[in-house]
């Protein structure tokens, strides 16, 4: 992405006429990133629910659903043309809060997952053991985050980028 920005600036400074076209390419590229993350988040959530239905251990369901939640949050950032600083839940929520108000309880619940996935330090690595309630919470969080996506905005962008 930074290479595209540099090219845009060079063309802009040199009076190049392709400046607008490159912005659209960047927008298309970011929207493709959104589409990939959004599709993957739904796939991870489907898989987590399938694992639950198949009787897999709750920790496996929790971990797969947590991946879905992370992907949902990254997709939400990309939809709003934001690049998350990091992919832990606190950083993702900090980025999301830059462009939308998230219900306080959902925000708190998502951020609480970093207590289970406290992997930011190699010296003091800790990965908590999720319990059944954690599994149920993360599945519920995925459903709640899905509701944050503005389907009208998504369709509008798809239409504007259609060939």
Instruction: For the chain, list the domains and their CATH numbers.
Output: 37-161 (1.20.120.330)
CB 111 within 8 Å of CB 89: yes
Residue-by-residue pLDDT tens, the chain, 163 positions: 333 333 333 334 444 444 434 344 466 778 999 999 999 999 999 999 999 999 999 999 999 999 999 999 999 999 999 988 888 999 999 999 999 999 999 999 999 998 887 655 555 555 568 999 999 999 999 999 999 999 999 999 999 988 7
**What is the per-residue pLDDT for 94?**
96
**What is the per-residue pLDDT for 86?**
82
C-alpha 11/C-alpha 138 separation (Å) is: 46
How many C-beta atoms lie closer than 10 Å to residue 68's C-beta? 26
């Amino acid at each position: 992405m930074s290479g595209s920005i540099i090219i845009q600036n060079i063309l802009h400074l040199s009076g190049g006429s392709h400046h607008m076209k490159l912005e659209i390419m960047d927008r298309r590229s970011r929207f493709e990133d959104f589409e990939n993350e959004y599709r993957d988040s739904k796939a991870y959530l489907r898989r987590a629910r399938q694992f639950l239905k198949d009787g897999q251990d709750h920790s496996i369901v929790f971990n797969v659903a947590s991946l879905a939640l992370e992907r949902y949050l990254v997709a939400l950032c990309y939809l709003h043309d934001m690049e998350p600083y990091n992919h832990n839940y606190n950083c993702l929520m900090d980025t999301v809060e830059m462009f939308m108000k998230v219900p306080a309880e959902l925000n708190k619940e998502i951020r609480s997952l970093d207590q289970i996935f406290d992997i930011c330090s190699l010296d003091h690595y800790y990965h908590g053991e999720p319990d059944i309630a954690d599994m149920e919470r993360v599945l519920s969080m995925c459903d709640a985050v899905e509701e944050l996506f503005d389907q009208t905005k998504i369709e509008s962008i798809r239409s504007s980028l259609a060939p």
